[in-house]
Structure 1
Amino acid sequence: MAEGPRRRGAARTDELLRVTLDLATEVGYAGLSMEAVARRAGVGKHTIYRRWPSKSALLLDALARVWTTDLDYHDTGDVRADLREQFLRSAPALSTPPIGPVYRAVIAEAQSDDALRATLHERFLVTVEKSTLERITLAQRTGELKADAELGFAAEVLCGTLYYRALLSTRPVDEAAVDGLIDLFMAAYAT
């Protein structure tokens, strides 16, 4: 039996997040509103506000829906190969719909909204840095990287370089850029 327009729970939430991303891609962060999402989804505003207190919370949940699961590290036992594969796989997400344009708009808005900036940092940047740190710490434990190296800043630099290129620069995050970054990292930290 097909679901009718009165979906509840997880199905409704998924639909609202999808509609939010679609609409944000079309109109940008500034043009997005809770009311527009409700209209597009065919629900009342109260349905949206019951789940999300603000436009930024709604949009960040929508981004998280497509961001987190597809961009986890693979562990082949070769840190260089795993970093390379991860960076080449995630780079297009930062530059193409649905994540790329919406994420850039959120970052722009976050420059004048301290609460959004803090939320963006906690929900996305910390998550990306943490997964990178976990992968390189594993490589350190298995002897691929220097045992006495402090890797927290290295994880931040690895991620930050790619974010800078993808979000603020006109230079591509291509194989040459990824290989150059990993070469620098390995030269500093490999055993």
Structure 2
Amino acid sequence: MPDTPATPRRRGTVRTQELLSVTIDIAARDGYAGLSIEALARRAGVGKHTVYRRWPSKSALIFDALSHVWTTDLDYRDTGNVRADLREQFLRSTAALSEPPLGPLYRAVIAEAQADPDLRAELHQRFLATVEQRTLERTTRAQRTGELAADADLTFPTEVLCGALYYRYLLSNRPVGTAEVDALIEMFLAAYGTRS
């Protein structure tokens, strides 16, 4: 029996994934500045209209490409132990940021965002705010279970908790590993943890 032809929707999904993979390859090699809709279309062997139908701008394209390789790594696993969950999440994120394709690509977007307010706003909305929100949700659940002080407003502490690792990774040449993650979580728990 002959294979059933792929539906247009299926072909479109596959093509989108292919274009995102090519985007990651180009950006990892040439940086954000070297990425263009034209370069993507040429490298992927498609017309520019095929790309523009999916993404109206280069920034929309690059953020979808980042999501393609990283979004699931922003999710917390809830084991019922906030220390273990923060540690596992931060180590996973640190590993992702330390290796291609995500690390170089994310650094390139951060660098470009310094001179592009719209790109910076989109970076915050689609990634940094997501990291902060998911961490706040996890720490808030820990408040409800009695692991963290119930009367503490954890909004700013959570921002600091997340930001410390990103700062160290993006703006210094100091290591970000198990020891650093453990020390950061210990500081947070010393300030907001409860004794059972």
Same fold (TM over 0.5): yes
Partners of 1:52 and 1:81 in 2: how far apart? Answer: 38
Normalization by structure 2: what TM-score? 0.92
Partners of 1:124 and 1:174 in 2: how far apart? Answer: 21
Normalization by structure 1: what TM-score? 0.95
Q: Is the 8 A contact 1:95 1:167 kept in 2?
A: no
Partners of 1:167 and 1:46 in 2: how far apart? Answer: 35
* Match 2:48 to one of 41, 45, 50: 45
Shift of 1:140: 0.4
* Match 1:94 to one of 97, 105, 114: 97
Corresponding position: 1:103 with 2:92? no
* Match 1:165 to one of 165, 168, 176: 168
Q: Is the 8 A contact 2:147 2:193 kept in 1?
A: yes
Report the AA paired with residue 146 of structure 2: G
Report the AA paired with residue 73 of structure 1: Y
Shift of 1:71: 3.2
Report the AA paired with residue 111 of structure 2: A
Q: Computing the radius of gyration over CA atoms, which structure comes out larger, 1 or 2?
A: 2
Shift of 1:167: 1.1
The secondary structure found in structure 1 opposite 2:88 is helix
Shift of 1:66: 1.3
Shift of 1:95: 2.0
Corresponding position: 1:25 with 2:37? no
What value does the CA root-mean-square deviation take over the aligned residues? 1.7
Shift of 1:94: 1.3
Partners of 2:179 and 2:69 in 1: how far apart? Answer: 26
Shift of 1:108: 0.6
Shift of 1:3: 8.3
Shift of 1:148: 0.3
Shift of 1:8: 3.1
The secondary structure found in structure 1 opposite 2:32 is helix
Corresponding position: 1:115 with 2:118? yes
In structure 2, the partner of 1:146 is 149
Report the AA paired with residue 137 of structure 2: E
Shift of 1:27: 0.8
Shift of 1:70: 2.9
Say if 1:14 and 1:138 are closer, same or farther in 2 by CA, change over 3 A: same
The secondary structure found in structure 2 opposite 1:30 is coil
Please, which runs of 5 or more residues in structure 1 have no aligned partner?
none
Please, which runs of 5 or more residues in structure 2 have no aligned partner?
none
Corresponding position: 1:54 with 2:66? no
* Match 2:69 to one of 62, 66, 74: 66
Corresponding position: 1:8 with 2:48? no
Report the AA paired with residue 43 of structure 1: V
